Amino acid sequence: MDTKIEVDGLHKRFGGKTALDGMTFTVAPGRVTGFVGPNGAGKSTTMRVILGLDAPDAGTALVGGRRYPSVPQPLRLVGSLLDAAAPQPGRTARNHLLWLAHSQGLGVRRVDEVLDVVGLASVARRKAGGFSLGMRQRLGIAAALLGDPPALMFDEPFNGMDPEGIVWMRGLLRALAAQGRTVLVSSHLMSELQDMADQLLVVGRGKLIADTSTAALLAAAAGDRVRVRTSAAAAAAAALDRAGGDVTPAGHEALTIAGLPASEVVAVLNAAGVPFTEVATEQASLERAYLELTRETVEYAGRPTHEAAR
15 binds other proteins (CB under 8 A): no
Residues numbered 163-182 forming contacts with other proteins, rule: CB under 8 A = 164, 167-168, 171-172, 174-176, 179
C-beta of 19: minimal distance to other proteins in Å? 10
Least distance (Å) between residue 152 CB and other proteins: 11
Contacts of 291 (CB under 8 A, 6+ apart): none
Q: How far is the CB of 55 from other proteins (least distance, A)?
A: 6
Q: Give the x/- contact pattern for other proteins in 41-60, rule: CB under 8 A.
A: -------x--xxxxx-----
Residue 244 per-residue DSSP state: T
| Nearest to 175, CA basis, from 164, 183, 185 | 183
Our finding on whether 150 is near other proteins (CB under 8 A) is no
Per DSSP, the residues of 47-77 read: HHHHTTSS--SEEEEEETTB-GGG-SSGGGT
* Contact flag: residue 17 with other proteins (CB under 8 A): no
Q: Which is nearer to other proteins, 92 or 248 (CB)?
A: 92
Please name which of 40, 20, 53 lies closest in space to residue 9, comparing C-alpha atoms. Answer: 20
Between 176 and 197, CB nearer to other proteins:
176
Neighbour tally for 73: CB within 10 Å = 12
State yes or no: residue 11 binds other proteins (CB under 8 A): no
- Interface with other proteins: number of residues (CB under 8 A): 58
Check binding of 114 to other proteins (CB under 8 A): yes
Closer residue to other proteins (CB): 164 or 307: 164
Encode 166-179: b = buried (16+ Cβ within 10 Å), e = exposed: bebbbebbbebbee
- Comparing CA positions, the residue from 17, 29, 27, 61 lying closest to residue 201 is 27
